[in-house]
Amino acid sequence: MEKSPAHKKIDEKFPDAVLDAHAQHGDETLIIRKDAILDVAQLLKEDPELQFNFLMDLTAVDYIGRQPRFEIVYIFVSIPNSTRLRVKLQSDDLYPTVKSLTPLWETANFLERECYDLYGIRFDGHPNLTRIMLYEGFEGHPLRKDYPKKKRQPLIGPGAKSSHKH
């Protein structure tokens, strides 16, 4: 596989950041060290040739039973160059922590909160890392593979105290 311009520039500036790479259906994926994400993302955004000016998505995948268990997945888009790049970080930590990209993209605010809420991934430096889809008393992170599907939550279900009149 021939390296993309983004891959070449990351290798030049951060020689030990990329752990693995592959391409599928025309999109390159880089697996990088999780402590390199802020530096790599800043390079992708600010390099005048690359111009990855849009953080399209951020999510996680729980591969329970596999090492490493979690992947945090970012999709960066360069609108001027019509290119897309997937960047993945891997972690075995039960509650992985990675650097927040909110200093670079405002959209990271919502995306990181969603990932925290549903997977328990923590984003160091996020200005307001609180639940965004579920209520504050919700216990656990429902997109983790070990989340019990029949778990009863406080404040919901029969007998819960509610301000709503039916």
Which of 117, 114, 23, 120 has its CA nearest to residue 62? 120
Q: Are the beta carbons of 52 and 4 closer than 8 angstroms?
A: no
Which residues, 6+ apart, have CB-to-CB distance to 55 below 8 Å? Answer: 41, 74, 75, 76, 77, 101, 104, 105, 107, 108, 111
Task: Return the higher-pLDDT residue of 127 and 155.
Answer: 127
What is the value of pTM for the model shown?
Answer: 0.89
Superfamily (CATH H level) for 5-124: NADH:ubiquinone oxidoreductase Nqo5 subunit (3.30.460.80)
User: Distance between CA 77 and CA 84 in Å, rounded?
Assistant: 4
Residue ranges of the domains in the chain? Answer: 5-124
pLDDT tens, residue by residue, 83-141: 999 999 999 999 999 999 999 999 999 999 999 999 999 999 999 999 999 988 888 89
When pLDDT is cut at 50, 70 and 90, the band that residue 154 belongs to is low
Of 28, 38, 37, nearest to 7 (Cα)?
28
Burial of 37 (0-12, 13-18, 19+ CB in 10 A): buried
pLDDT digit string (tens) for 57-90? 999 999 999 999 999 999 999 999 999 999 999 9
